[in-house]
């Protein structure tokens, strides 16, 4: 325990800054455990509380701002890239667009507590040309809420955290193996889940050339564009004759679709 305390006392702020920056840059490493432990040491007076909060907010804001400018520079392309590499198959661009469309810039204040929204919200704000001042203001509030909770938990439960750290230290290298196995198991499960989803989608997919040939037939298929309103504004291109559909209320557009026609759906 003394070795861990000494390490966090000497390099605690640097470790927290690096951990939070990596998390907000998209690296799949959790920041909550580090913030809780740092909060516990702040509660014991071994780390200054105010600098801990400030350094965490600054690290979060740096990561968010990088993604914000990437969104402004590359637009919707950066969102498609994030969707491809995300390990959460249910947290890609669509849900993020819906949240941002409904709540606008204030959604950045709670973005970090919504799975999948944390990393996609900043580039989406950039792609939507949200003013930099508004982005920074809401992101700072969001970062304060995000780092404040785990740090507060660490402060109030500092004794329990100390006991847990002592137990982990007694395990030696076994503790590191347990933590590594948990992290790798989580990432592995999500990758398998995503692989199965993509495999299922590909079974029901047709290519652009095949669709083009179908469009030449006398009885052409009905093409539905189920992208969100945000996606259509960011990328106004669409397939010829495609019908825009609100995926939350598809019945409005499907009323006019003949039941004997083939239907082709495309999204982001």
Task: For Cα atoms 56, 60, 65, give the angle at the middle one, nearest 5 degrees.
Answer: 150
Among 132-141, 152-161, 237-246, the minimum mean pLDDT is found in: 152-161
- Does the structure show a pLDDT above 80 at 37? yes
**Better pLDDT: 161 or 149:** 149
Q: What is the pLDDT of residues 84-99, one digit of tens each?
A: 655 554 445 566 667 7
Range 125-152 average pLDDT: 90
Rounded Cα–Cα distance for residues 163 and 62 (Å) = 33
Long-range pairs, 134-137, Cβ under 8 A, ≥24? 134/105, 135/64, 135/65, 135/68, 135/105, 135/108, 136/61, 136/65
Give the C-alpha separation, 268 to 83, whole Å: 9
User: What is the rounded average pLDDT for all residues in the chain?
Assistant: 77
Burial class (CB in 10 A: 0-12, 13-18, 19+), 45: exposed
**φ, ψ (nearest 5 deg) of residue 75:** 65, -140
Question: CA 24 to CA 115: how far, in whole Å?
Answer: 13
Total Cβ atoms within 10 A of residue 141: 15
Please state, in angstroms and rounded to a whole number, the distance separating the CA atoms of residues 100 and 125.
8
Instruction: Give the pLDDT mean for 92-117.
Output: 74
């Amino acid at each position: 325990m003394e070795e861990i305390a000494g390490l966090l006392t000497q390099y605690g702020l640097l470790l927290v800054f690096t951990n939070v920056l990596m998390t907000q840059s998209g690296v799949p490493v959790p920041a909550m455990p580090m913030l809780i432990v740092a909060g516990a040491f702040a509660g014991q007076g071994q780390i200054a509380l105010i600098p801990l909060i400030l350094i965490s907010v600054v690290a979060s804001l740096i990561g968010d701002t990088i993604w914000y400018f990437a969104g402004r520079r590359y637009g919707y392309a950066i969102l498609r890239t994030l969707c491809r590499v995300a390990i959460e198959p249910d947290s890609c661009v669509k849900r993020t667009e819906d949240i941002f469309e409904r709540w606008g810039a204030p959604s950045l204040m709670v973005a970090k507590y919504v799975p999948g929204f944390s990393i996609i919200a900043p580039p989406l704000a950039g792609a939507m040309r949200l003013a930099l001042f508004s982005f920074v203001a809401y992101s700072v509030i969001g970062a304060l809420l995000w780092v404040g909770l785990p740090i507060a938990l660490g402060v109030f439960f500092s004794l329990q955290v100390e006991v847990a750290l002592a137990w982990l230290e007694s395990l030696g290298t076994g503790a590191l193996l347990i933590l590594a196995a948990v992290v790798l198991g989580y990432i592995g499960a999500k990758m398998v889940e995503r692989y199965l989803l993509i495999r299922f989608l590909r079974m029901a997919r047709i290519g652009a050339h095949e669709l083009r040939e179908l469009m030449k037939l006398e009885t052409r298929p009905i093409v539905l564009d189920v992208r969100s309103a945000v996606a259509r504004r960011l990328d106004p291109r669409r397939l010829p004759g495609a019908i825009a559909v609100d995926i939350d209320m598809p019945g409005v557009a499907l009323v006019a679709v003949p039941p004997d026609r083939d239907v082709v759906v495309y999204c982001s």
